[in-house]
Amino acid sequence: MRLEPYVEPMSGLPRLRDVETGLRFSRVVAGLCWPKGTTPGAVVALAEDVAADPTDGYHTLRVVDYVAHADVEQLLEQGADIAPYVGKWAGRSAVGVWVGNPWHPFKRHLKAFNARLTADGRARINLRPAPGVGAGGQLHADLAPYLAARVVGRAALILGRRDLIAQVEDAGRDIRRPLEDFPAVAALFWAIAYCDERKSATVASATPERTGNFAGY
């Protein structure tokens, strides 16, 4: 997916558009899950369709990008470049919201990393708590309903990555395990849950120049 920012002629609202398909999005949300032992950490970025399904009201979510790495610094470096813009804003990320576990010990890496991003004129990774994080141990089963609501009886989630699909299927065989045992699945579930719990509130005056991203949420 190759994204570019644009302003809707009728509403004046800033949006995102896939230059290859013409699909329009209101925002890009990324879930970040830290590495777990030798299991690579992961970042999964989802783009949310502007238009809702007229029947059930769901805004389809589509995987824009997915990266994984066992090294925290490398994971952050790859994550900072996820979902890049093309054209005038090339080199900037379209991610407007980052969600994950901001109380994890690996969070300490973000301070110095964000300082480097700022020095390079790149958008910082400001990690917000994902839904349910911080309320005790979070099981795979706790967030599985968000996935089921989008894939059972409807097609409101487009993964498009066989490697990610395989990990979702593997994790689904043992839903009583901690969600963060499956970093790629955790990153995906957190991004879905955030989108479903926090409706898009695009700020019309936001631009990449002013925010580091195209839209504020």
Amino acid at 188: L
Q: Calculate the alpha carbon distances from 117 to 93, 97, 156 in Å.
A: 12, 16, 34
Assess whether pLDDT exceeds 60 at residue 203.
no
Q: Tell me: the pLDDT tens digits for 153-165?
A: 888 999 998 999 9
Considering its fold, how many domains does the chain have in total? 1
Domain assignment present for residue 175? The answer is yes
Query: pLDDT-derived band of residue 200, with 50, 70 and 90 as boundaries?
Result: low
202 in any annotated domain = yes
Q: What is the DSSP letter of 154?
A: S
Its pTM stands at 0.89
217, part of any domain = no
CATH number at residue 192: 3.30.420
Per-residue pLDDT reduced to its tens digit, 44-84:
999 999 988 888 888 999 999 999 999 999 999 999 999 99
**Is residue 141 within 8 Å of residue 176, measured between CB atoms?**
yes
Give the chain's largest Cα–Cα span: 50
User: Quick check: is 189 in a domain?
Assistant: yes
Mean pLDDT of all residues belonging to the chain: 88
* Tens digits of residue pLDDT in 89-130: 887 899 999 999 999 999 999 999 999 999 998 889 999 999
Q: Is 60 among the domain residues?
A: yes
Q: Of 5-9, 90-94, 137-141, which has the strongest mean pLDDT?
A: 137-141
Q: Whose CA is closest to 2, among 16, 15, 20? A: 20
Residue 188 lies in a domain: yes
Which tokens go with 201?
A: 């509130």
Owning domain of residue 30: 3-210
Domain assignment of residue 216, yes or no = no
| CB distance 206 to 14 below 8 Å | yes
Is residue 215 in a domain? no
